[in-house]
Structure 1
Amino acid sequence: MASPARCRLNSSRPGSQLGPRLGCGPGWQTGSMTMTSQHRLSRFSHHLWLTVTLFVALAIAFVFYVRSEKQIDRANDLRHQSFLLADELRQSSDDLTRMARTYVVTGDPVYARRYQDILDIREGKQPRPEDYQNIYWDLALADGQPPYPANAQTIPLLELMRQAGFTDQEFQKLAEAKASSDALTATEFAAMQLVKDTGPEAEAHRAQARLMLYDSRYHQAKAAIMRPIAEFYRLVDQRTLDAVHTAATRALIFRWLFIGFGLVVLGMLWQVYTVLRDTLGGSVDTVYAQIAQIGAGDLSPAMPIKAGLEHTVLGWLSATQAKLIAMNRQRQQAEEALRVSEARIHMKLDSILSPDGDLGVLELADVLDVRAIQTLLNQLFDLTQIAVGILDLDGRVLVATGWQDICVNFHRAHPQTCRNCVESDTLLSRGVEPGTFKIYRCKNQMYDMATPIIVGGRHLGNVFLGQFFFDDEPPNRERFRTQARHYGFSEEDYLAALDRAPRWSREKVNTAMTFYTQFAHLFSTVSYSNLQLAQSVAERETLLNALQDSEEALHRSLAEMQRHHTQMVVLNRMNDLLLSCETQVEAYEVIASSAGALFVGCSGGLAIREATAQNLRVVATWGHERTLPATFLSDACWALRRGEPYEVADPPHSIHCQHFTTPPAYAYLCVPLTVRGETFGLLQVSAATDLTGEAFHEWRTLILKVSGSIKLALSNLKLREALREQAIHDALTGLFNRRYLDEALPRELRRCQRTGESLAVAMLDLDHFKGFNDTFGHEAGDAILRAVSELLWRSSRAGDLAFRYGGEELTLILFGITADHAQIRLDSLRQAIAQLRLLHHGNELPAITVSIGVVVAGTWEMDAPALLGRADAALYQAKTQGRNRVVVAPVS
C-alpha cells in the first residue's frame, strides 16, 4: 500500500543528490562571465580614456599652433601700423612743405589755414581724420570743408607713437624726426609771414620767401627729417623679422606636435574600435539588430555565435535569447497545462452542478473532503493504532495514517519494490464486491486488506488496511532476508523494520475491516446523495434563473412596446398637425415640439436652405443644448455634401461635421431633407448618453422615420404656398392679380373699419398703351408693364398692396393716408413713370404716361365693388381731362 511519506522520501532523494551540482554549475559560469566582462570593459575603458587624453593633448597642441600663427599675423600688423605712423609723420612734413610753398606762390590764405590745421592735427589740438594717409589736402581745399568729422579723436601724433609699443630706439628715431620737422616749421612760418607784407617791398619779400623754401638749407632740413624715419623703417623691419622668425619656429614645432598627436589619436581610435568590436562580439549594427529583435519580443531561434565569442555582448545576448526561448517554451507548456486543468475542473463542476451533468467524469478526489477525512482517521489511529489509507484506482494516496518503517524506508525507497507496492494497490485489490473486503498478500510479502468505494455505481477507489502480519502466522524471515540481499537493503536494518511491523489477531483484523467496510459504504451513499442534491439544487436554480430571465424579458418587451406606442402616438399627432399647418412657420413650431417629445433627453435642430444655395438657417431647435448655430454653410455638414444620412457613433474617434457650436460628445445623426432630388433642409439629432448596438439602431431608425414625415410635410407646404403664390400673382408683372384683389379689398375694408385706419384705392391706366403695342409690339408693351410694376413695388410703403387689374390697368391699395397725401404720392409716382427710359432690342422706347384715379374710403364704406367703381370713375375723369394726371374722387 502506498504512503505519502514514502512518496516524499522517494522523490526528494534524487533532488538532494543533483541539487549541489545544479547549484554550482551556473554559479561558476556566471562568475566567469562576470570576470571576463569586467576584464573586457576595463580594457575598453583604459583605451577610451587614453584616447580622450591624447585628444585633449591634440587640442592643446592645436591651440598653441594657432596662437603661434596669430603671433606672426600680429607682428606683421604691428609692422604695418608702425609704418603708417611713420608715414603720417613723413606725410605731415611733406603736406606742411606743400602748403607753405603754395601759400608763398599764390598768397591764398586758405593754404595758410590748412598749414595751421596740419600742425594742430599733429599736435593733437584738432580731431584726427580716420585715414590720415588717404587725405589729400589740395582736394580738401576745393570745397573749403575740413577733411575730418566733428566728433573725431584729438591726440598728438607723438602720443600715438608712444602708445604703439615701439622700442626706445625706434621711438627716439621718430621723436628726432618730429623735432626736426618742428624746427623746419619756424622757417616755413617766417617765409609765410614775409608773404603777408603788402607794402612797397612785398614783391621782394615774396621772392625772399620763395628762396627760403627752395634753398639748400631747406632741403638739408628736409633730409634731416627723412633720415631718422628711414632708420626707423630699418629698425622696425629687423624687429618684425625677428618676431616672425621666432613665431614661425614655434608654429612649426606645434604643427609637428599636432600632426604627431593626430596620428597617435587615429591609432588609438583604431585600438578603441578593435577593443569595442571584441567586447561587442560584432559590429554595432549587428548588436543593435540583436537587441531590437529581443526588445520586439522576437524569440526566434537564437543567433549562432562563433567560437571564442561566448563572453562578448553578442554572446551574452544570444545566451539571454536562448534562456528567454526556454522560458517562453516553459510558459507555453504551463499555460497549456493550466488550460487543460481548467477545462478538466470546468467539466467536473458541470458534471456536479449541471442537471444533465455526467457523473462518470468524476474521480475520488473530486468527491472526497481530504482534509476532513484525514483529520478523522488521524484521531481514529490515535485510538486504535490501526493504519488506514484511501487510494484512488491509479494508486494515488489521498488519505493515510500509521505507515510502517519497512514501507517508508525500504519498499517505497527502491524502484522495483515501489512498483510492487503500486501494483498491489491497483491490481490485487480488484474484484471486491461493495460491502465486502479482501485480504491478500502484497508482492513485498506483507498483508493488505481492501474494500471498494462506490459512488453512483462507479468504483472510484479503495479503503486499505495493511502493512501487518497475523499473530498466528509468523513471517518467513529467510524470504525477507533474501529480499534485502536482492534489492541491496541493509539486512540488519531491514529485518529490524520487519520486527517492528504490527502483528494483529484475525478477530481484530475482521472487526476493523468490518468497520471500514461500513465506513466506505456510508461514504459512498452520502457522497452520491450529495451529488444528486447538488444537481437538484442546480436544476432548481437554473429553472429559477430561466423564470427570472423570462419575466425580465417580458417586462422589457412590455416597456419597449409602450415606448414604441408612445412614439407612434406622438409621430401620428405630428403628422396630423403638419397636415393642418397653413404656413411653414407653424410647421416649424410643430416639429420642434414633437421632436422634443420623440427624442427624450436628446438635442437637435431643423435647418432650412435659404435663397442662397450655400447657406442654411436654423428654424427649430429642441433639447437642453443648442447644437447648431443660427446659420451655417452646407459644406460644413457631411450629410449635405454626400446627399445621404451621416451618422457618428463615437465622435472622439470619428470625423464629425463642422457646424456644431461645441464638439459633440455622444452619437449624432444628420439627415438631409431631400424630395424629388432637391435638398431643402437638414434634420440633426444628438444623443445625450452613449448609444451602442440595438439601442443605437432603434434611435437611428426613429430619426429616419421622423425625417421622412418632416420632409414630406414641408415639401407639401412649399408646394401649396407656391401654388397659392401662382394663384394670386400675375405671371407677367409679379403683382397681385384681380382674383386676389376681389379677396383682399373686402377683408382690408373690414379691418380698417375695426381699427379706424383710412384706406385709399387708386386705379392706374397707361395712356395710349394700345397704340404703343401696335407700334412697337407686344414684347415692348410687356417690358413697359414689367418696368412700371417694379416701380410700383419700389415706391410702395410696407403694407401697401399693388395689383394688375387687367390689361394695362393697375390698382393700388394705400393704408393710413388722406386724400391730399394720396394725391401727392400718386403724382410723384406719375412723374417717376413719365421719366422711365427703357431699351428694347437696343432701341430706346418713348416715354410712357399714366392716368390715375383715386378714392379714399370712409370708415362706413364696406362695398368693395362700389369703391372700385368710384376709383374707376375718377380714372375716367383723368382720361377725359387730358391724361397724365391724378384725379381724386369726392367723398361719398
Structure 2
Amino acid sequence: MNRDIDNVRKTSMRLHDEEVERFRALLEYNILDTGPEPCFDELARLAGYVSKTPIAFITFVDENREWFKSVIGTDSGLREVPRDKSFGAYVINHPEDVLSVSRPMEDERTRQNPFLQSYPDIKFIAGLPLIERNGHRIGSLCVAGFQPKDLSYEQVSLLQTIAGNVVLQLEQRRSVSDSGEPVPALRINADRALPDRGIPKSDEPNVIHALTGEGVDIGEKIFREAGIDGEEENSSAIRKDIQDLIGRLEKQNRKLILLCEMDELLQSSHDEEEVYTIVTNYSNKLFPGETGALFIFNDILNILECVSTWGDNLKSESEFLPDKCWALRLGRLHYVNSSPTELYCQHLTGTSNNDYYCVPMLARGKTLGLLYLQSGIQNTEGSGSERELVYTSHIVSTMAKLAALALGNIKHHEALQNYAIYDSLTGLFNRRYMEETLKREVSRVARNKEPLGLIMVDIDHFKQYNDTYGHAAGDMLLRSIGEFFKDSIRREDIACRYGGEEFVLILPGSSLENTCRRAEQLHEDIKRVRVRHRGSFMNSVEVSMGVVVFSEHGSSAELLLESADRALYKAKALGRNRIVVA
C-alpha cells in the first residue's frame, strides 16, 4: 500500500515538474497577451485553406487558460477560455499527432467549451500540438468546420508543417528580442485588430495583400506601431532584423501555398507520369536553382530507377540498389552536409561540397521511391542557415509524403480496376468488361458504318484434362491459352474469358472474310500450345469456334453473342475441332 502511494506521489511530482518546464518554455517566448500579428494570422488562414475549413486558430495554453493568438473565420471576440474547458488542453495532452472530434457538442471533452458554445453548429474540430525545440507542447493549431469530416493523410502532413512554421515564427520572434526590447516592436496594438487578409496571392516581398487587393507594408506598420524611427539608436539594426524576419516568413508562406497547389494537382493525377511531371515542376518552384531527382522503386529488379531530374550536375547514379541509400535503410529523411565525417549514401557519384537530402517515399507500408535534393544551403554555425535547413527538411519531407500518397492511390486504383475488369486466372478481360465493350464497339461501328467480327472459342474435351491431369493442370492450360490469345491478336483486338473454358475475341474493323481467315489461323496455331505437367507434356489443345460479324448476324451486342453461341454449339454437334460461321 505504501509503495503504491509512493508511486502515485512520484508520478504526480514528475508530471508537475514536466508542466512547470512546459510553462517556463512558453513564457520564454513572451507571446501571451500580445496583439494580433499578420504572420500568425496568415499561418492560421493557411491552415484553414489546407483543411478546407472556414475556421482556424492558434492558441497557447498556460497554467489556467487557453489564450487565442490568432482566430480566422469568426468574429466572436473571445480571447481566452478556462483551461479545464479548453480544447487546446486536450490537444497538448493527446498522445497522437492530431486530435480530431466530430460533433463536438456531443463529446464530453468539448461540450463545455465556451468557444464551441458560441458556435453550436460546428460539427468538426481538430487540433495539432505546437511543439517547441525541447519537445514541450506549448499550444495548438486548430481547425473547425460546420460539416463532419476526417482530415486526409496529406492534410495532416501539411498542417504539421504549418504547426512547425508557427514554432519557427516564435523562435525567430524571440531571436529578434535577444538584442534588446523587440517584443514591443513585433506587437501590434490589441485594440486595432488587423482585418482578415485571406491567403497571400503576391510574390512581392514584404507586402501581403488583403482580400480587397490593397497592399499593406507590414514592416512599416510594425515600425509605426512600435514608435521606431531612423533617429533612434540601433533602429537601423532593428529595422533590418524585422525586415529579414518578415522576408523569411513570407518566403516560407509562399512555399506552403505552393505545397497546397501541388497537393491539389497530385490528388487529381490519373497516372504515374503526371505525378512525375508535377513533382518536377514544383521542385523547380520550391527550390529554384537547386538540383534533384525522383527515383521509383522497381520491385521486380529490386532497384531504384530515376524517372525525373531537374537542375544541373546531378551527383547521383541513375539506378542503384536500395542498400546504397541511408534514407531507405533507415526509413526516414537523411541529410548530409559537406563535412567529411558525414555518412554519404553510396549512390552518390561525388561527395565533395555536396549537401543533400534523401527522403524515402512510403505509402501503405511499401517503399515506392526516393526524393533526392542537392541543397545549396550551407550549414554555417552562427547564421540563420540552421533554421532554413530545418524548414527545408519539413518541405522536402512533405513533398515526399504527398508524392508517395498520390502514387500509392494510383497503384491502388489500378489494382482495383484490374480486379474489376480482368480475369485473375488468364489475365484476359472478364465477361463483364467484354459485354460492356462489345456494346460500345457495336455503337461505334454502326455510326461509322464499319465492320466488326467476333469469334467465340471453346476448348474441346476440357473436362478430360481436369479428370486426367487434375484441376491444377486445367488451370495451367487456361493460363497458357490466355497467354496465347494475348500474343496472337492485334493491339486493337479484345480477348476475353467468357466463362469456364470459353473465350470471346472481338475484332474491330474485321469483315466476315477477314474474321474467318483469322479464326482459321488461330485454330491451327493453338494446336502448338503445349503445357508441361509433372515432367511431361499434356495432350495438344483442340478448340471449336463460332464466327459472326456485325450486322449480318446481329444488330446488337446481345444478338451477336447469341448467334456466336449457336454457331459454336453447331461446331461441337458436328464433331468439335472445327469452325462454323453463323
TM-score (norm 2): 0.53
Q: 1:740 aligns with which of 425, 433, 449?
A: 433
CA distance in structure 2 between the aligned counterparts of 1:774 and 1:736, rounded to whole angstroms: 27
Decide whether the 8 Å contact of 1:758 with 1:859 is kept in 2. no
Q: Which residue of 1 aligns with 2:403?
A: 710
The answer to whether 1:878 aligns with 2:581 is no
Give, in angstroms, the shift of residue 860 of structure 1. Answer: 13
Give, in angstroms, the shift of residue 749 of structure 1. Answer: 4.6
The answer to whether 1:789 aligns with 2:479 is no
Closer/same/farther in 2, CA of residues 629 and 862 from structure 1, 3 Å limit = farther
2:266 counterpart SS class: helix
Q: Which residue of 2 aligns with 1:251?
A: none
Q: 2:503 aligns with which of 807, 810, 818?
A: 810
Closer/same/farther in 2, CA of residues 726 and 620 from structure 1, 3 Å limit = same
The percent identity for this pair of structures is 37
CA distance in structure 1 between the aligned counterparts of 2:573 and 2:435, rounded to whole angstroms: 27
Decide whether the 8 Å contact of 2:493 with 2:506 is kept in 1. yes
Closer/same/farther in 2, CA of residues 863 and 621 from structure 1, 3 Å limit = farther
Q: 2:297 aligns with which of 601, 606, 609?
A: 609
CA distance in structure 1 between the aligned counterparts of 2:495 and 2:347, rounded to whole angstroms: 41
Closer/same/farther in 2, CA of residues 772 and 576 from structure 1, 3 Å limit = same
Give, in angstroms, the shift of residue 664 of structure 1. Answer: 6.5
Could you tell me which amino acid in structure 2 is paired with residue 704 of structure 1? S
The answer to whether 1:679 aligns with 2:372 is no
Give, in angstroms, the shift of residue 883 of structure 1. Answer: 1.7
Give, in angstroms, the shift of residue 831 of structure 1. Answer: 2.6
The 5-angstrom pairing of residues 101-180 of structure 1 reads: none
Q: 1:599 aligns with which of 281, 284, 287?
A: 287
Closer/same/farther in 2, CA of residues 613 and 848 from structure 1, 3 Å limit = closer
Closer/same/farther in 2, CA of residues 562 and 635 from structure 1, 3 Å limit = same
Identify unmatched segments of 5+ residues in structure 1: 1-353, 355-539
After superposition, the C-alpha distances for 1:620-654 in whole angstroms (9 at most, x for unaligned) are 22335555555344344332344432211116664
CA distance in structure 2 between the aligned counterparts of 1:863 and 1:643, rounded to whole angstroms: 56
The 5-angstrom pairing of residues 557-576 of structure 1 reads: 557-576=245-264
Q: Which residue of 2 aligns with 1:694?
A: 387
Decide whether the 8 Å contact of 2:529 with 2:540 is kept in 1. yes
Decide whether the 8 Å contact of 1:636 with 1:657 is kept in 2. yes
Could you tell me which amino acid in structure 2 is paired with residue 564 of structure 1? Q
Could you tell me which amino acid in structure 2 is paired with residue 696 of structure 1? L
Closer/same/farther in 2, CA of residues 598 and 868 from structure 1, 3 Å limit = farther
Could you tell me which amino acid in structure 2 is paired with residue 720 of structure 1? H
1:798 counterpart SS class: coil
The answer to whether 1:723 aligns with 2:411 is no
2:576 counterpart SS class: coil
CA distance in structure 1 between the aligned counterparts of 2:563 and 2:334, rounded to whole angstroms: 63
The 5-angstrom pairing of residues 201-212 of structure 1 reads: none
Closer/same/farther in 2, CA of residues 629 and 729 from structure 1, 3 Å limit = same
CA distance in structure 2 between the aligned counterparts of 1:643 and 1:663, rounded to whole angstroms: 22
After superposition, the C-alpha distances for 1:96-115 in whole angstroms (9 at most, x for unaligned) are xxxxxxxxxxxxxxxxxxxx
Could you tell me which amino acid in structure 1 is paired with residue 283 of structure 2? A
Q: Which residue of 1 aligns with 2:526?
A: 833
Give, in angstroms, the shift of residue 592 of structure 1. Answer: 1.7
Closer/same/farther in 2, CA of residues 663 and 753 from structure 1, 3 Å limit = farther
CA distance in structure 2 between the aligned counterparts of 1:694 and 1:856, rounded to whole angstroms: 72
Decide whether the 8 Å contact of 2:531 with 2:538 is kept in 1. yes
Identify unmatched segments of 5+ residues in structure 2: 1-179, 181-227, 380-384
2:362 counterpart SS class: strand
Q: Which residue of 1 aligns with 2:310?
A: 622
CA distance in structure 1 between the aligned counterparts of 2:304 and 2:458, rounded to whole angstroms: 43
Q: 1:670 aligns with which of 333, 358, 373?
A: 358
CA distance in structure 2 between the aligned counterparts of 1:590 and 1:862, rounded to whole angstroms: 46
Decide whether the 8 Å contact of 2:451 with 2:508 is kept in 1. yes
Q: Which residue of 2 aligns with 1:585?
A: 273
Q: Which residue of 2 aligns with 1:819?
A: 512
After superposition, the C-alpha distances for 1:486-512 in whole angstroms (9 at most, x for unaligned) are xxxxxxxxxxxxxxxxxxxxxxxxxxx
Decide whether the 8 Å contact of 2:454 with 2:515 is kept in 1. no
Decide whether the 8 Å contact of 1:616 with 1:631 is kept in 2. yes
- Structure with the larger helix share: 1
- CA RMSD in angstroms comes to 3.4
Decide whether the 8 Å contact of 1:753 with 1:860 is kept in 2. no
The answer to whether 1:555 aligns with 2:239 is no
2:526 counterpart SS class: helix
Aligned residues: 351
TM-score (norm 1): 0.36
Decide whether the 8 Å contact of 1:614 with 1:635 is kept in 2. no
Closer/same/farther in 2, CA of residues 736 and 652 from structure 1, 3 Å limit = same
Q: Which structure has the bigger radius of gyration?
A: 1
- Structure with the larger strand share: 2
After superposition, the C-alpha distances for 1:639-693 in whole angstroms (9 at most, x for unaligned) are 2344432211116664533445666644210111123442221110112453542
Give, in angstroms, the shift of residue 826 of structure 1. Answer: 2.6
